[in-house]
Structure formats: C-alpha cells, structure tokens
Amino acid sequence: MSFGDPNNPYGPPPGQQPGYPPQPPQGQPGYGYPQGVPQQQPGYGYPQQPGYPGYPGGNHMPAEMPGLMKTARVLLFVLAGFQLLFGVIAGIAVGAAQDVSNGVGSGDATDTLAGLGFLIAALMLGLGALSIFLGVKFKTGGSGIRVTTIVYASLMILGGLVNTVQGGGGSGTFGGLISLAIAGIILASMVNGAASAWFNRPRY
C-alpha cells in the first residue's frame, strides 16, 4: 500500500504525514475553528455614551439657584411691597389734597402739582409691578431677565445717590441709603459667574 500515491482520493494531501488530522493551510482561516476573539459589537438597548447634565437620563440633578440670587429675589419682593404701598398712599394723598383745593376754589392752581403727584404714584406702582415680575422670573427666566435686572438695579443706585445727596440729612437721605443697599445687593447678584450660569442653563 503506497501512501504517496497522488491519485489516491483517500490518502492525505501532499505534505501531510499519515495518521495526523489535517491542518488548515497557513494564512487561511480554518473551517469550524475560531481564529481569534471577535470584536465586541455595541449591544442593542445599552447606552453607548454617558448621560449629559440636564438631559433626561443624565446623572446630574438640575442646578439650584445660587444663594445670593435667592437673597436678591427676596429683596425684590420686599422692594415691590414698599413701592406699591407708597404708590397707593401717594395717589390717595394727592387726590385728597386736590379735593381740598377744589373745595376752596384753588383747584385750577394746583392741577399741575396734582398731575405730577399722580404721575409719581403711577410710576411707583409700575416699579412695584416690575420688581414682582423680575423676582418671579428669577426661577425660569433667561439672560433677558438678567440684563433687565442689571439695568433696573443700576437705575436704583443712581436714584439712591441723588436722594442721598439732595436729602439734606433727612428722610430723603435715609431712603437713598436704603435704596443703595438694596440695589447694590441685587446688582452684585447679577454680575457674577453663578448668575450667568444660572440664567444661561439649558431648559427642557
């Protein structure tokens, strides 16, 4: 029996010793034998990237309003209460004074002063409404609320300085100092990095 017969279909291939299992050719993958660990494919239903802050499924809680901004928000509500109260009292006082002037026959002479008084009362009521609006919007507002609050606080500081200088050491000076303190805190809470991050945070 010849093992080297190339025409024998039952014999081993050329170069293969008899009695050994056939080996796959070098450089070619064998049939039925793994050639290596397959690459791990992304599984379905599993997240491939970590969650981002602010997105559903993220691993970060929403940011909380900074403490200085909370203080400024409370001051806006307190300021609004004083503004509304002053506006109502001023309007009632001006109206009563005008009624007295009309009763004594000098109403025409005081019409201009009464009109100015009503204008101031309406201005205070409008500022009170603005203070409430800004305070409410601190929680959900964007950069526009921040810019409006900065302008508002700056105007309050200017008015406080005028009242302090022209008050002559009386009630005007005291009111000007109070306005400066409140407006300074509000302005300081709006111009720092924490306020910028808060008002520019993503909302969903």
Query: Tens digit of pLDDT for each residue in 36-46?
Result: 544 555 545 44
- Contacts of residue 52, defined as CB under 8 A and 6 or more positions apart, other chains included, come to 58
Sign for the pseudo-dihedral over CA of 101, 102, 108, 114? positive
Stated pTM of the model: 0.64
- What residues does each domain of the chain span? 67-199
Structure confidence by residue, pLDDT tens digits, 75-129: 999 999 999 999 999 999 988 888 887 777 666 667 788 889 899 999 999 999 9
| Spatial separation of the C-alpha atoms in residues 67 and 195, rounded to whole Å | 10
